[in-house]
Structure 1
Amino acid sequence: MGVDSGKALSQNPCLHTTSLDSIHSIITFLESKGIHQKDLGRIFGMCPKILTSDIKTELNPVFNFLSYDLRVPDQHYRKVINKCPRLLISSVRDQLKPALFYLQRLGFRSLHALAYQDPVLLVSSVEKTLIPKLDFLVSIGFSRADAVGMVLRCPGLFTFSIENNFKPKFEYFAKEMEGSLEELKEFPQYFAFSLEKRIKPRNIAALEKRVKLPLPLMLKTTDEEFEELTRQGCG
């Protein structure tokens, strides 16, 4: 199946004592849920713990969660699992349902979007990942309502590291770009762009041309479009 056995064993030592019959049962179960044979190498490679999971108490509840809580039709299980294999090693009671409840309370209304676009949010710890990201946005000056609005518009904010993403990018934005919180509120996608490869070079180029561009224009445009904007002095 293309699984790195050494890596799998190091991440899941229980595989040393797992029978081939047990592994075959898990493969058969996943295939019965619509997962293709060609998907399994990647899925097991990312989450080797699946190979020693209990079908009745661990794997089956995840598919019940997809069906009853996220309203995912049987024929679409494969799409969701391929998007986020970690769903299969997440406790429904301790992780998936609490995360779904928290996200819905924040204002995430679309089950379709959570299932097919942002399932990684469901495997993120509410206490250790989701809440701290909101708290950081509040700590730099946003109201809680504005912070919530930002993550609703750009759910990817919940996946970014505070230390490696938010802090350095906000520091650069505030000090070097002299930007306002209102700009980030309107364009939270700023944090999705590379600081070294996109934000800094574009900002420096704009400064050299003495052009002030709105964040979306500065960051979302192609190199050719950006060069044309700075040449024309549009801002």
Structure 2
Amino acid sequence: MVGHIDNKSLLSPSLSLSLSLSSHRQTMPSAGAVALHSSLCFSCQKPSSHSISQQPNTHVGDKPRSLLQKHPLYSATHSRLSFQFKEKILCLEIMGVDAGKAMSQNPELRTATMESIESIISFLQSKGIHQKDLARIFGMCPKILTSNIKTELNPVFDFLSQDLKVPDQSFRKVINKCPRLLTSSVRDQLKPALFFLQRLGFMDLAALAYQDPILLVSNVENTLIPKLQYLENLGLSKNEARGMVLRCPSLFTFSIENNFKLKFEYFSGEMGRKLEELKEFPQYFAFSLENRIKPRHMEVVQSGINNLPLSVMLKSTDEEFRELINSNVGR
């Protein structure tokens, strides 16, 4: 596959190279990969206060070309690809990022220089992000690789520090929890979401930062408000709906069509439960309908148990639930 390049590959050289890399990953010696990663891409050491651009000897472009050209994947890829392009994709792949997927999701990455990518990496490491975190972060949000440090990334860390009161040493924990923070506009997304959530009653900044930062990257008008309105449409008051999301913030992450509607129909129809139980146990929507709710409800019905609290039926472990059922069989 590597030796043959068709016309489609000419239109998407990054994908072609990515496929070649993927097919050779298992045969690449781990020691050689580590050495190539260290030599070509960037130092594994935490960056100093000087930027990479001030240290020419750390530039990928300044390394002897022969190092990369001797790599078995280099000559096997399309000859028309530039050294710099091959170098960029190879370094991304060795770092653990699917280069083809990343460039598909972020076309700007095709023209990004290694120097700009290195500056992003250096900046994130200066904020406490570990090199081992980068594959997952960039894999989830390849847009970060072409972000502007001054106008896009730095404001996010200022927001974490100033608005969420996250100490510098805890940046890594928050970013690993929700890498999308790094691709969100502070002015247009993060601050409006924080303001809305605080008005609802989310006053625990630590909980928002470390447990539910995904709420901060959720669109207020298109995501948060419609879900509140759906709960109100079930017959809940505004305060009751607000109380439910405060008790179970993950409600804001569930789909109305694929979660709320299906589970409420089963709750009110097959189970015949009252709305009051949902107010007391909004976590109901967090359990799988097919794998948890339906099977356990059916067993409860078959066992003849009456008025079993919703929380007991769903929260108990398999062993606890089995003991509960067995203790009531035959009564």
TM bracket, shorter-chain basis: over 0.9
2:98 paired with 1:4: yes
Q: CA deviation at 1:227?
A: 1.6
| 1:15-61 deviation line (CA, Å, top 9, x unaligned) | 11100000000000000000000000100000000000000000000
Q: Distance in 1 between matches of 2:158 and 2:317?
A: 43
Shift of 1:154: 0.4
Query: Partner residue of 1:173?
Result: 267
Q: Tell me which amino acid in the other structure corresponds to 1:225.
A: E
* 2:188 is equivalent to residue 94 of structure 1: yes
Question: Counterparts in 2 of 1:12-91, with a 5 A limit?
Answer: 12-91=106-185
Identical residues among aligned pairs (%): 73
Which of 213, 222, 226 is 2:321 aligned to?
Answer: 226
Report the Cα distance in structure 2 between the residues aligned to 1:132 and 1:232, rounded to whole angstroms.
43
Unaligned runs of 5+ in 1: none
Among 218, 241, 246, the residue aligned to 1:147: 241
SS of structure 2 residue aligned to 1:178: coil
Q: For 1:66-119, what per-residue CA distance to the aligned partner results, in whole angstroms no more than 9, with x for missing partners?
A: 000000000000000000000000000000000000000000010000000000
Q: Structure 2: any 5+ residue segments left out of the alignment? A: 1-94
TM-score, normalization by structure 1: 0.98
Cα RMSD over matched residues? 0.9
In structure 2, the residue matched to 1:215 is 310
Pick aligned residue for 1:161 from 255, 260, 275: 255
SS of 1:3 mapped into structure 2: coil
Q: Distance in 1 between matches of 2:322 and 2:254?
A: 29
Q: Distance in 2 between matches of 1:21 and 1:227?
A: 59
Residue 200 of structure 1 aligns with which residue?
294
Residue 176 of structure 1: SS of its match in structure 2? coil
TM-score by length of 2: 0.70
One-letter amino acid of the structure 1 residue matched with residue 315 of structure 2: K
Aligned pair partner of 1:134 in 228, 250, 266: 228
Inter-partner Cα distance in structure 2 for 1:80 and 1:222: 30
In structure 2, distance between residues paired with 1:145 and 1:231: 40
The superposition leaves residues 127-147 of structure 1 with CA deviations (integer Å, 9 ceiling, x where unpaired) of 011001100000111111000
Give the whole-Å Cα distance in 1 for the aligned partners of 2:305 and 2:240: 28
Q: 2:209 aligns with which of 91, 98, 115?
A: 115
- Aligned with 1:141: secondary structure? coil
What one-letter code is carried by the residue in structure 2 that aligns with 1:197?
Answer: N
Q: Report the structure number with the largest CA radius of gyration.
A: 2
Structure-1 separation of matches of 2:301 and 2:233: 29
Rounded Cα–Cα distance in structure 1 between residues aligned with 2:210 and 2:112 = 32
2:50 match: none
Q: How many residues align?
A: 234
Q: Which runs of 4+ in 1 moved over 4 A?
A: none
Shift of 1:224: 1.6
Deviation at 1:159, TM superposition (A): 0.3
1:182 and 2:276 matched: yes
